[in-house]
Structures are given as C-alpha cells and as structure tokens.
Chains A and B, each alone.
Chain A
Amino acid sequence: MMSAFGRFTHAVVRAVPRSLATEALRTGSLGELDLPRAQQEHELYVSVLKQRLGLEVLELPADEALPDCVFVEDAAVVCGDTALITRPGAESRRNETVAMKDALTKLGLNIVEMTDESATLDGGDVLFTGREFFVGLSKRTNQRGAEILADAFKDYAVSMVPVQGYLHLKSFCSMAGPDLIAIGSSEAAQKALKIMQQMSDHKYDKLTVPDDLAANCIYMNLPGKGDVLLHCTPEEFPESVKVFEKLKDHMLIPVSNHEKVKVDGALTCCSVLVCKSSV
C-alpha cells in the first residue's frame, strides 16, 4: 500500500491563463505578476516533469474564466488509484474540478466526488506522508471536507492540523522524502509540525528550512532515478537551498517559482501526480 511512496507515472498540469495576472486570488502582496514570466516558469516546470523525469504529463488547457486553474493540486487528491475530486474553498475555483475529473477519469482512477455542500477542501491543505494524511484546517478547508477525505481513503489515518497565517497547510511544509517532512522555520510552521508529530504514530524526520515557502517541494521516487526532489531556486531562497543540498542521496532539481508565488502558487500546486499500476 505504501511501499512506493513517491512513485509516480503521470502528472496532470494545466496551462497558465492570462487572467492569472489580474484576477487570481492572492493573500499577500508580493508585487505584480509578470504573466509572460509566469508562463515561461510554468513551461519549465512542465518540461522538468516531462523531459527530465519522464513522467507522462497530461496538460489541460487553460480556462480564462478560472484564473487560478493552473494550480491543479487543489482540485484533486490522488492516492493510490483513488482520486478525490475536491470542493475548493474558494467559490471562484469550484469549476476547476470539472476538467480535473475528466483527466483523472481518463487515467482510470476511481473517482470520488465531494458532493457535500457543506464541505470544502483544497488539495493544498492535504499532506500525504505515505503513511497517513494531515489535513490543514484553513480558510479553504473545513472539517467536513477532511471527513470526506477520510472516507475516501479509509486505509489511512487522517489528522487535522489548524493552519494559521497561511493559505494552505502545504504553504509551509511538504514531504521531502519518505518519512521526511520539509518544514518552514516560522512559528506557525513549527507549531503545525508539533501537532503533526503528536498526532502521528510514526516518527518523521524533519527538514527545517529557513523560509516557509521554500518548504514546499516535490518529492518523487522514480525508477532509475531514485530520490528526486524539486525545490526552490537559489535565487529565491538561497539559505533554504543550502538545506536541501544536504540531501546527498536526492537528485536535486531547482525549479523556479518566482512568479507564481505572487499568487500563492507553490511547487506542489501546479501538478497532480498519479501513479498508475497500483497494487
């Protein structure tokens, strides 16, 4: 069930709509988004998945009516061969799930839909460690959403982690390896980590990086490549990169996220990773 954590064969991504620059939701004020650069950034991201890592990438077309649609992660949670189509917390993003559902259906996954009107869940609040789920309770995700997630993935424990000061749980943490949690240094991040540690029967290692945003990275375990980690670039977070570079066994791939971060996009946000051939 959890033997192959990080093993992926497919990725679902979505192109950057022009409306991203102007209409995308944002929590911070990191400046204006440079659309061409954002698009270029995203293309690079996709090419890493495709060319560098050899994943089969499904690229969904952008939808101008859905400015945030590039952040596909929030629309679905995939674990094993089950995909939970979420009900994003932001009203304006609800329709993003339509295309995602189609794509995942095509991949042959068991689709579970979150139909409960009272439930909200953003994929960005879902941290799957390989052993269990942590679901951030944020502005975008509520308890009901977490319950439905728990129902969809019955094999795993689902623990709740309050998220404060950030958009999503994964705004300051992610998995950097099997049983290895990358976590930011801020108080909020550390507090969340404490909660996760207390809630879990497993002992996770942690990789603490100075910058919260840098803690969002993408771990994969690919045949022939071993441990692969997509992380921030030295230009963005030089100190944090040094931390990642201590992971000697990982194939480290810096991927720029300079523009998308302005609209709360992180590395994990831009793809839904799928492993076909489970079981």
Chain B
Amino acid sequence: MTTEVGSETDVKKEPEKVPEAQHQTDPVQTDQPDKPADSDAQPVASAAQPEESRSAEPESPQEESSSPDPSSPPATGGQKKEKGISRFLPPWLKRQKSQSQDQASESAEQPQSLSPKEEEEESEPKAQPDGAGAAPNTEKTEEEKEEKQESRPEEVQLEENEKEEEKSVGSADTQPVREEKEAESEVKERKEEKKEEEQVIQQETSVLSPLRLNKKMKMVVCHVTLLDGSQFSCEVEKRAKGQYLFFEVCEHLNLIEKDYFGLSFKDNAEQRCWLDPTKEIKRQIRNSQWQFAFSVKFYPPDPSQLTEDITRYLLCLQLRQDIASGRLPCSFVTHALLGSYSLQAELGDYDPEEHRLDYISDLQFAPNQTKELEEKVVELHKSHRGMTPAQADAQFLENAKKLSMYGVDLHHAKDSEGVDIMLGVCANGLLIYKDRLRINRFAWPKILKISYKRSNFYIKIRPGEAEQFESTVGFKLPNHRAAKRVWKVCVEHHTFFRLMSPENPTKSKFLTLGSKFRYSGRTQAQTRQASSLIDRPAPYFQRTSSKRISRSLDGAPMVNVSDYSHAVDSALTAGAGENGPALDLNSDSKSPQVEVVEKPDTDVATSVTYESAIEQTDKGGTGAPERKSKLRVQGENIYVRHSNLMLEDLDKTQEDVLKHQASISELKRSFMEATPEPRPSQWDKRLTGSPATTLRLQAQGSTEVKPEVNGQPEFIEVVEETVVIEEVIKAKPRSPAPETPVTVETEVKEDRSLSSDSESEEEEAEYHAQTPSASISVQQIEEEPEEEQELIQQAPPSVVELQPITEAEPADSAPSAEEEQATAQPEEEECTDKDDAPNGHAPAAEAPPPLRAVEEEPPVVNGSVSRVEAELLPQVICCSEPPVVKTEMVTISDTFAAQKTEISTKEVPIVHTETKTITYEAAQLDGNGDGEPGVLMTAQTITSESLCTTTTTHITKTLKGGLSETRIEKRIVITGDSDIDHDQALAQAIKEAKEQHPDMSVTRVVVHKETELAEDED
C-alpha cells in the first residue's frame, strides 16, 4: 500500500483543483525525471486510453438513436477516436487499451514513438497484439506491492519496484486519471485537442442529448430506494442506460466515490440483479417495474481508505441493513457494539434525559433484537461520548469489516454430487460454504478461468504444488440465470479488486459462445486513485436512517452534528434536488457539466464505463450478424494468445472429465461425507435472492432454459458450434536434419442464429482471470507472487521438463518480469501469434532484447515479436475460436504436449452438447519422450478467412544440438448453419497441408466437433 499512498500524496499536492484530472498533470510529470524515455512516451500512450474510452461511449447512445445502423457503433467509435490524441497512437494501442488499460500506458510508449504513422494502417485485430509489444513489467511489479501479503518470497523484487515506482511516480499505478494528467503535461497541443474533445464528450455524457430530447422521447419514472430507506424518483428516457440513472442517484446523494455502489433490481424470479451501467435499463429489467435499490456492490475491504465520510456513511447504512436482515451474521457482542456506534453517529452523545431505554427500540440492530441487546447497546453508547458521527461510522466500519461474511455475496449451489453448498464471492476470491462452514476457498490468484454454461458454473484452478495440471471445478446453480449471475459477480469482483484497470469488454472473444460481459467500471485501484483527487470540502449530509426523522442533536458537541441544517442545504443545492428530477431532464443545469465543476473525477468514471458500452450495445438485436462479421474480420490479422489464462482447449477429453470429477470430489474433502439435513435458517436470509432459489433447484432440468429463452424480445444467437481442431505436435529431430512437423488444426463451426435473449441468456461465457500469468498488464502482476511460489515449490517432473523453454522465452519478451514469466511460462509460452504485417516488426524491434543474451540463439525478429506480444497482451483475441489451444501445444515438448492435450480443459460437455473428437497422430511422435524442449526461435500465426477460418502458426525452435525445427499448426474453423462433412473437411485440410508443405510431415490431426443439440432452439 505504501505505493499507493505515495502516489496519492503526489496527486494531492497539486494545487490546481480542476474538474478534469488532466489539468493537473504537470507536477506529476516533473516528479519523474529518472525515466526520461518512459516519461515521454508514457503519458501519451496513457492519455489516449481514457480519452478513447470517453469519446467512444458517448457516441453510442447517439448512434443508436440517430443512425439506424446498429452494428456500426463500434466502428464509428473507433473512427472518432482518431480525432483526439489517439490519432497519435498506433492503431494497436487503441485496441489494446480497452483490454488492459494500465499496461497500455507503459507498453505503448515504444511502438508509439517509433511508428506514429502506422496508426492509420491499423486494423483492429492486429492492433491488439502489437500494443502489448513493449514490456510493461515495471508497472506490473508495482502491483505486487499491493499484494505484499502474497508475495513474500519476492520481497527483493518488491523493493526494486518501489524504487522504480517512486521514480515514475504516477505512472506506476496507472490509473486513468493519472495517466491523463501525465499526458497533458506531456504534450500541450494535445492537451488542447483533448479539451475540446472532452467538452464534446461531456455534453454527450449526459446520455440524453438535447437532440434526442426534442424528438419524441418516452420518459419513464424510476424509483430508487436509497440506503436510508427513502425513495428517490427520477425520470429517465426509456432507452437510457443504467449509468444514467446511477449517476442521477449519485448526484442526488452527492456521492463521488460511487464505484463501490450500484443499482440493483429484482428480476421476475425475485432475484436481485445488478443493473449494468452500460446497457439499457429497459432491456435489463424486462417486464419488471422500474424499481431499483441503491446499494453497495463492492464492499471495500478497508473502509478507512475511503476518502469521504459520506461514502463511509453510505457503507454504514448498507451494513446496518445487512446486519439487520441477517445477511451479515454477527455475535451478540458485535451486534451491540455496532449498534452503539450507529446510535452515536445518529444521535450523538448519550443524553440521559432524552435517551431513555426506549429511545432505541424502534431501531433495529439485529435480526432478532432482544431487550438484553438493547440494554447492551445503550450501555456501550454511553461509552462513546465525544465521538463525532464520522468517527462513530469509522469505528463501526472497523469492526464490521472484520466479520467473516463482510462483503461476501452468497449464492446457492450444489457441487457435482448434488450436495448443497454456497458460493461466496468476495474481494479475495471465491469461498465455498457448506452450511455455515467454509469448506474451500479459491483466491483469485488460484483461479485461471471462470465460466458458466447453462446452469453450471466452472472455475479452472491453477495447479497446486502437488498437482501437475490445472483442474476445473464445477458447480450446479439452480438455473441458467443464477449461473450467469454468479459468473458476472465473479468477473466484476475479480476485476474490481484484483486488477488495476478493467479488462476490455471483449470484442474479440474466442469461444464464440458466450457473454461479452466484462466489468467496465473503475477498479478499486482506480477509484482510490480518483478519490485521492477529490478536492471539495467535506459535503454535509444528514444522517437519518432507520425510520427516524431527524432529531435534534443539541447534545452533540461536534460541529458536524450541529451543522445538519446547513448540510442539507448545501447538499441539495449542489446536486439535483430531491424531487422532480423529471423536470431537470431537459435543463442543462443538471447535466454532467455541473458535475465537472464539483466533482473532478466524475468524468473519469464516465469514461471508463463508456468503453464497454459500445460493444455491449450492438449486441442485442444484431448479435448474430455482428459476430459473424467478426469472424470474417480476422483477415490477415494477428492474434496473440498467451498465458495460462487463455489456454483453452475446445475439446475436452475423457480424461478431462474424469479429472474434473476428481477435483470436484476433492473439493468436498474427505470430511464431507455426511451431509446433515439442509438447514436454511439464516443462510437463506443471507442470499441476495429469495427462497425461489431453493425452489428452483428442484425444478431445474434440461428444459429450464426454454422458458427463459422464450418470450424474450431480444434476439440472440445460440451458437451451435462444430469445431475441428487439428493439432500437430512437433516431431523431434533425431537425425541431424531438422524435422518439420506440420500441424493442421481444423475447426469447423456451425453457427445458427436462434431467437433468444442476448442480454442475459448467453448460454455460456468464460472469463479468464486476466491477472497474473499474463504478465501483461501491470495490474495483473500482483497475482504473480502467489503463482510463483507454487511453481517453485512444486516442480513436478513434467514441469521440470518444460523449464528450459520457459526460461528462454520469458527472457526475450519481458526482461524485468522474469519471475512472473517463469511462472506463467509453461502455459503461456506458445501463445505466439504473429502477423506478417510490417507493423508487427516495429514493436518487435523495440522489444527490449537485453535478456536475449540468455538465449543462445539470436531470436528471429518475427519470433521475438510475437513472443513479446504474447506476454504483453493476454486478452487479445481476434477470432472467436480458441486458437489458444494450439498455442498451448506448440512450445511444449512432445511428451508434455501429448499430456497437455489430454488435460486441456474446457467446459465439461453438458447434456446438450455433442462433442466429437478425432485425433490422428503420426507415429513418429512416439518416442520423442526425451523431450528437450529447445529454444523457440520464431513463431508466427497467420489467420486468413474465407468460407472458413484458417489459422496457421509457424513455430521454429532450436533444439539442442543447434537443430532447428519448424512446426506449423493450422487451424481451420468452419462455421455454418448446415451440417458439415467433417471427413471431407479433414481430408481437405490434410491435403492442403501436404500440398503447401511437401517437405513436412503431418504429425497430428485433431478434429473436434461440437454441436449443440436442438433443445435450445426451441
């Protein structure tokens, strides 16, 4: 944390108090003389990203209304970006940013400086990999500090990082805000441009642009229940997005640190759902009422780090609710203690005359409040004399945060054996409870992937010390929507608490199926950063909650308390008013510009959120066409795959399934055998949902999906996919002459568009913890430590084998992050994807080669480039298929590869999916077991598209003895709505491979077909 503090203080020093963070830049900049090169490039790069996101989002609403072409928004957004700073950036940067903003800032520098011109040439997919080109390592390390606890072994490194960080001051944390600042100081002309752009943006931010208002707009009144129980009504345009309403509420509350909060609503099944700020409200609530609740979404693990008292106050209100409802269990003593702080905050000092015993009987401190408890509360209240409301709140939070269920979002589920359990999503990861007992815990660093499919929810676990391979644990949720809900909550929590900046809402998704959903708001790190910029006098607010109308607080000694009346005034004047927001809709006064003045960081938040909006918007009706077009888009683009996070095999082998089962039962641990009668009681209360959950458990069946799918207006595609994957594994040269195996991967995919709800009914989705291994973005780094440890300690035989490769590769890609890479390597290595495009080279050339020395062979340009990218850009995926798979295989020695194949995990095939896998392996593969991995010299992947998608990956490695070996993997994905003759496709693929590379041999062919049966089609 020291890091953060440091940086924040810097920020605070800045004298200017300007709405836009950008204006403040200069001081920061000057603070970092040490890294001249970086500082120059950095700001620019970093600046672009917030900008980009900002500009992008506002447009989407407009486009939706003004331009009839729904599928175009993303494209347009991109174009507009060109206007601003972004035009100085190479294309890939633009793309990349959204994916991992932080990393962008540092990594961007190099490519940018070198090839400013290239920007124009860009094509989207290509851009991503390149952007990663530079080594963001320095940033990564900084993250680790935050995670100190986990990274003990690497203390040395941490120290280094700290130094580094200090030098670079703001850059380290890379929050958008700061980045913006830097950018500003950096280039003044840019600054101006930016400003202009911002103005434009700000206007647009209001979502409801004047233009639209003039047209026929249907307005709807939203009712929002606030944390103090009061109602806030607000008129919004019918097609307004969630964030509009959310901002209205925050403005009403005079809340700046809003990122911890959210709006929720009850769906038809009475389940609480979070309103996605980037999507239209109407679509999310469906037929439900426009009734929402404002509540805490992310419980800050350390509330004392919140900047403003008002934020803490709201958090207190939420917790009081949680406690009173039983969702946050605590002991008698704790109930009493927390209750007494509540009293002190609300009433001030205990006054024997005014406060008789019954003065609290209308307050609820516990689910089952007893006289005894009330007496205890009063007793404790007396002892808080002199404590200000803010202090009382702080004390309240200090105690509440220690409760074991603080901030844990519980969901009913069953394990693979049908045993009732609870999934608890929290800041640190996923907790598994059986009844009241914690039976397992998966910290974010342990989780490689989160996915759901139908009513199943899966997490892929990083191998532990004793295990060789990752395992997947599956849980059965009551229904599909519940599964998705858990998944979303996980994605959001992971991003918010674990990452430095949100991941790009995937435009590029690999598995065609699935949700594009990503958390798009600010992360905790970002919001803290932004909060440090808050520069307003502490806002006054009235503490009235728990059914009481405000009381006189004469007895209270503290200023805050006695100033209430004033407080109310100022609060009201500052914000919108309590009433009739509808009226305000048309007026400018209420628009974001106002916010700018008072709340410096509002815009920043907006910008972040905006990013995803574009992508999300087009998703609904046009989902299917869109997606297809994406496939086509690939063209010559490169995509990089990397990191264990991304290693997904589409085909799941039998062994996988078995393994899966094994891991599940492991989960239950030996002691789980006896399952006492299910006890609802308190635990049910704790569910965000209602009893419905439990009931639905029984009802779930294959048919459950149908009802949900039906009757929904939106259109979605249900993808039937047939995947044929061919994997060729390298044959190891035994003779002097290098042998060159050819890999042919063929995927055949069938897409069928069916009607269903795109918004919430994706059949499945995956979320790869972007974190650690990727090494890509600074943020991710934090996870590294833990991984590292494991790797080091474990060293199973096979892993050992891999080592050589691992070390070699990381070396060139990311000089500074050796350890991380080492960890990530085994899986990450092959991620190489490369494009031939000239662009690719620039970054490559730049990629810091210092470590190369380690390698015996000078790296081939292409190869190195790709590798670098791989490391940097975890999430870049241009195509919808899982090219990843082969990546995995590439670098690994034969034996290992073979193993890997079997192990590859994918969702466990479920009832409705038919999976067919054909594998052909050339005999020569056998016996290559000695498995010297060799050094990867080059790797490149070319993807072209026509009727089907063909992805070709060339990998050249140097084996021991100076031999080199080239492996070509080709993956063909055929997507279609008609049946495909796989045999023919396979034959064709092999034939082509042979023709194209007569000098090579086909070593392995895998055909994977995955078809979803008609059930979902309904």
A147 to B329, CA, bound (A): 14
Residue of A nearest to B408 (CB): A157
A157 to B433, CA, bound (A): 10
CB–CB B333/A80 < 8 A:
yes
Contact A200/B402 with A142-B674, A153-B331, A279-B380 known, Cβ cut-off 8 Å: no
Q: Is residue A211 contacting chain B, with contact meaning CB distance below 8 A?
A: no
CB–CB B331/A155 < 8 A:
yes
Contact A118/B436 with A1-B334, A80-B333, A198-B441 known, Cβ cut-off 8 Å: no
Name B residues whose Cβ lies closer than 8 Å to a Cβ of A: 149-150, 152, 329-334, 336-337, 380, 399, 402-405, 426, 428, 434-441, 443, 465, 669-672, 674, 676
CB–CB B437/A158 < 8 A:
yes
Q: Is residue A18 contacting chain B, with contact meaning CB distance below 8 A?
A: no
A150 to B337, CA, bound (A): 20
CB–CB B333/A278 < 8 A:
yes
A194 to B467, CA, bound (A): 14
CB–CB A159/B437 < 8 A:
yes
Contact indicator per residue, chain A 139-175, by CB within 8 Å of chain B (1) or not (0): 0001110110011011111111010000000000000
CB–CB B329/A1 < 8 A:
no
Contact A150/B437 with A162-B671, A201-B428 known, Cβ cut-off 8 Å: yes
How large, as a class, is the contact surface on chain A? 35 or more
CB–CB A143/B330 < 8 A:
no
A residues 104-148 in Cβ contact with B at 8 Å: 110, 118, 131-132, 135, 137, 142-144, 146-147
Shortest CB-to-CB span from B587 to chain A, Å, is: 48
Contact A154/B330 with A160-B437, A162-B669, A199-B440 known, Cβ cut-off 8 Å: yes
A160 to B674, CA, bound (A): 14
CB–CB B334/A156 < 8 A:
no
Residue of A nearest to B424 (CB): A157
Q: Is residue A203 contacting chain B, with contact meaning CB distance below 8 A?
A: yes
Contacts of B380 in A (CB 8 A): 279
Shortest CB-to-CB span from B314 to chain A, Å, is: 23
10 closest residue pairs by CB, A with B: A157-B404, A150-B436, A137-B671, A154-B329, A159-B438, A203-B149, A155-B331, A154-B331, A199-B441, A201-B428
Q: Is residue A30 contacting chain B, with contact meaning CB distance below 8 A?
A: no
Among B149, B465, B671, B674, chain A packs the most CB atoms within 10 A around the CB of: B671
CB–CB B399/A1 < 8 A:
yes
Contacts of A151 in B (CB 8 A): 436
Shortest CB-to-CB span from B820 to chain A, Å, is: 20
Contact A158/B438 with A203-B149, A279-B380 known, Cβ cut-off 8 Å: yes
Contacts of B404 in A (CB 8 A): 132, 155-158
Contacts of A143 in B (CB 8 A): 434-435, 437, 671-672, 674, 676
CB–CB B402/A147 < 8 A:
no
Q: Is residue A34 contacting chain B, with contact meaning CB distance below 8 A?
A: no
CB–CB A81/B438 < 8 A:
no
Shortest CB-to-CB span from B465 to chain A, Å, is: 8
A279 to B402, CA, bound (A): 15
Pick from A2, A147, A156, A279: contact of B435, CB below 8 A.
Answer: A147
Contacts of B438 in A (CB 8 A): 157-160, 199
Shortest CB-to-CB span from B881 to chain A, Å, is: 34
Contacts of B332 in A (CB 8 A): 82, 110
A278 to B331, CA, bound (A): 13
Interface of B is mostly: mixed
Contacts of B330 in A (CB 8 A): 154-155
CB–CB B403/A155 < 8 A:
yes
A279 to B336, CA, bound (A): 10
Pick from B334, B399, B441, B676: contact of A201, CB below 8 A.
Answer: B441
A157 to B438, CA, bound (A): 7
Contacts of B465 in A (CB 8 A): 194
Residue of B nearest to A131 (CB): B402
Shortest CB-to-CB span from A79 to chain B, Å, is: 9
Contact A160/B671 with A82-B332, A118-B676, A201-B441 known, Cβ cut-off 8 Å: yes
Contacts of B669 in A (CB 8 A): 160, 162
Pick from A150, A157, A194, A279: contact of B333, CB below 8 A.
Answer: A279
Name A residues whose Cβ lies closer than 8 Å to a Cβ of B: 1-2, 80-82, 110, 118, 131-132, 135, 137, 142-144, 146-147, 150-151, 153-160, 162, 194, 198-201, 203, 278-279
Residue of A nearest to B672 (CB): A143
Q: Name 13 interchain pairs, CB-CB below 8 A, sorted by A.
A: A1-B399, A82-B332, A131-B402, A132-B404, A143-B435, A155-B404, A158-B437, A159-B441, A160-B438, A162-B669, A162-B671, A201-B428, A201-B441
Residue of A nearest to B334 (CB): A155
A135 to B671, CA, bound (A): 11
CB–CB B402/A160 < 8 A:
no
Residue of A nearest to B446 (CB): A198
Contact A147/B149 with A1-B402, A198-B441 known, Cβ cut-off 8 Å: no
A279 to B333, CA, bound (A): 8
CB–CB A279/B337 < 8 A:
yes
A153 to B333, CA, bound (A): 10
Shortest CB-to-CB span from B447 to chain A, Å, is: 13
Pick from A2, A144, A154: contact of B402, CB below 8 A.
Answer: A2
Contacts of B337 in A (CB 8 A): 1, 279
A116 to B337, CA, bound (A): 29
Pick from B149, B436, B443, B670: contact of A158, CB below 8 A.
Answer: B436
A80 to B332, CA, bound (A): 11
A213 to B674, CA, bound (A): 30
A45 to B369, CA, bound (A): 43
A73 to B150, CA, bound (A): 34
A146 to B438, CA, bound (A): 10
A135 to B437, CA, bound (A): 10
CB–CB A155/B402 < 8 A:
yes
Contacts of B441 in A (CB 8 A): 159, 198-201
A147 to B399, CA, bound (A): 23
Given contacts A160-B437, A160-B669, A200-B441, 11 further A-B contacts (CB under 8 A): A1-B334, A82-B331, A137-B671, A143-B434, A143-B674, A158-B436, A159-B439, A198-B443, A278-B333, A279-B336, A279-B337
A118 to B679, CA, bound (A): 15
A201 to B431, CA, bound (A): 10
CB–CB A144/B436 < 8 A:
no
A200 to B332, CA, bound (A): 24
Contacts of A157 in B (CB 8 A): 404-405, 438
Shortest CB-to-CB span from A203 to chain B, Å, is: 4
Contact A81/B333 with A142-B674, A155-B404, A203-B149 known, Cβ cut-off 8 Å: yes
A144 to B436, CA, bound (A): 10
Among B330, B403, B404, B435, chain A packs the most CB atoms within 10 A around the CB of: B404
A151 to B333, CA, bound (A): 14
A82 to B331, CA, bound (A): 9
A221 to B434, CA, bound (A): 34
Contacts of A278 in B (CB 8 A): 333
Contacts of A160 in B (CB 8 A): 437-439, 669, 671
Residue of B nearest to A200 (CB): B441
Pick from B336, B437, B440, B672: contact of A147, CB below 8 A.
Answer: B437
A81 to B331, CA, bound (A): 10
Contact A144/B333 with A132-B404, A157-B404, A200-B441 known, Cβ cut-off 8 Å: no
A110 to B380, CA, bound (A): 17
Among A82, A144, A154, A278, chain B packs the most CB atoms within 10 A around the CB of: A154
Among B331, B402, B405, B428, chain A packs the most CB atoms within 10 A around the CB of: B331
Contacts of A132 in B (CB 8 A): 404
A279 to B338, CA, bound (A): 11
Shortest CB-to-CB span from B488 to chain A, Å, is: 22
Residue of B nearest to A203 (CB): B149
A213 to B404, CA, bound (A): 30
A80 to B336, CA, bound (A): 14
Contacts of A150 in B (CB 8 A): 435-437
A144 to B399, CA, bound (A): 28
A278 to B337, CA, bound (A): 11
Among A157, A198, A199, A200, chain B packs the most CB atoms within 10 A around the CB of: A157
Residue of A nearest to B328 (CB): A154
Contacts of B435 in A (CB 8 A): 143, 147, 150
